Each structure stands twice: as C-alpha cells, then as structure tokens.
Amino acid sequence: MSEQAGDKPEDEQATGASEDEEVIFPEDEAGEEAQIEAEPELTDLEKAHAERDRMREQLLRIAADFDNFRKRSRKEIEAVRRRTVEDTVREVLPIVDNLERAAGAITDATEVSAVTEGVHMVLRGFEEVASRLGLKRVPTVGNLFDPTCHDAMQQEETNEHAPGTIVAEVVPGYYLGERLLRPAMVVVAKPPTGTDDQDGSSADGDDASE
C-alpha cells in the first residue's frame, strides 16, 4: 500500500524536524557544554604574556616591512640618480664632439676667423644644453654686489661706477633651477683712495676763505 500525501517519513517523524531544520541532539549539547566547562580560564599573567607575544610578533612584522621599504627606497633613489647622470652626460656629449672637431680643425685652419667661429658654435651649443637643463648664468657686470651669489676677488678704485657695483667678471656663476650651483667671482668698484680727504679739505678751505 502506497504512502498517503499527509504521511511523513519515519525518520522525520522520529526526530520531529523537517529536512531544512537543524537537528540538535541532546547528547551533542551536553558534550559541548562539558568541553566549555573543561577549558580553564586564563589568569591575568597568562593574558599579559599572550598579549606580549602578540605585540612582539606585530612589531617584528612591522620592522621587517620597514626594512624592505628602506631597501626599495634606496634602490629607487640610486636608479633615479643614475638616470639623471646618464641624461646629463647624454646632453653634454655633443659639446665634446664639437670641441674635438674644433681641435682637429685648428691644425688645418688658415684663418683665425674660422677657428673663432667654431668656438662660438660650441658655446652656442652649450647654451642650448644649459637652457634645457635649467642652467642659468648669474648676472654680474653692472649689477650690485650680492654676497649670496657673488664672490669678490678684488676691488677696483673707480669714479665711473657707484661703490659696490660689479665692474668685471673673473669666473661666471650658475644657477641650476632656483639653486645656486656656483657663485660668480667678480671685481667690485670702490671709491678712489683720497677722494673723501680731498673733498673734506676743499670744504675746509672754502669755510676758511669765508
């Protein structure tokens, strides 16, 4: 005889639960409760030791990560420096090539003007490279002496320029971007010796005549 529609399987009737419901057996609950009760509670000292071990492991991991970061940063900085040097040398090499051509042409040159023109071409090539690299020349002649970018090599007595004015450039100075790469070595004007004394004596003579 077939089972009726309202009948339940024997195992389902025995447990009193459907297939979707979780079946909990009393003996399992008793075993879990016994296991929980069997686990001893940690003392404050044991908890402190566990926390110490956890923090030590965390610190070791952080230290290892920082050491790896430092090594990577050092390699990246070295790579950037090497590429910068390579790019700069690559820009300067054409100037060296032109200087070698000029040196070779000097022996065969019959006119000084040809050699002079060759040297000026090399200088123009350097100026183009310097402009691409952000290299700028420090202003000198006609400007007032500035100790932040000028080095005074000597002073020249003159009435043609105001005291402190740069009258000659000995060695040019350069800026690389906004940073001073090398100060310019210059000659600075100063009043002629005895000028103040003569002015003072003439003024005293005028007062005496009055």
The answer to whether residues 69 and 105 belong to one domain is yes
In a domain, 165, yes or no: yes
pLDDT of residue 5: 47
For 51-79, the pLDDT digits (tens) are: 898 999 999 999 999 999 999 999 999 99
Q: In this predicted model, which residue has the larger pLDDT, 209 or 64?
A: 64
In this structure, the answer to whether residues 75 and 119 fall within a common structural domain is: yes
Split into its structural domains, the chain has a count of 2
Q: Which residue has the higher pLDDT, 146 or 120?
A: 146
* Average pLDDT value for the chain: 79
Is the pLDDT score of 35 beyond 70? no
Same domain for 113 and 66? yes
Mean pLDDT confidence for 8-20:
50
Helices of type H across 107-185: 112-133
- Give the model's pLDDT for residue 171: 95
Q: Is residue 30 a part of any domain in this protein?
A: no
Task: Kindly report, residue by residue over 167-187, the tens digit of the pLDDT.
Answer: 999 999 999 999 999 999 999
Please give the sequence-ordered ranges of beta strands (E in DSSP) within the chain, or none if there are none. 135-137, 150-157, 166-171, 174-176, 179-182, 184-190
Residue 58 lies in a domain: yes
What is the CATH classification number for the domain harbouring 87?
Answer: 3.90.20.20
Mean pLDDT of 85-110: 84
Has residue 175 been placed in a domain? yes
pLDDT on residue 4: 47
The CATH number covering residue 159 comes to 2.30.22.10
**pLDDT at 24 (0 to 100):** 52
Q: Summarize the confidence of residues 24-49 as an average pLDDT.
A: 64
To which residue do tokens 């100075």 refer? 173
Q: Which residues pair with 135 in a beta bridge?
A: 176
Quote the domain boundaries for residue 63: 52-133
| 15 φ/ψ angles, rounded to the nearest 5 degrees | -90, -25
Average pLDDT of span 128-135: 89
The answer to whether position 108 is within a domain reads yes
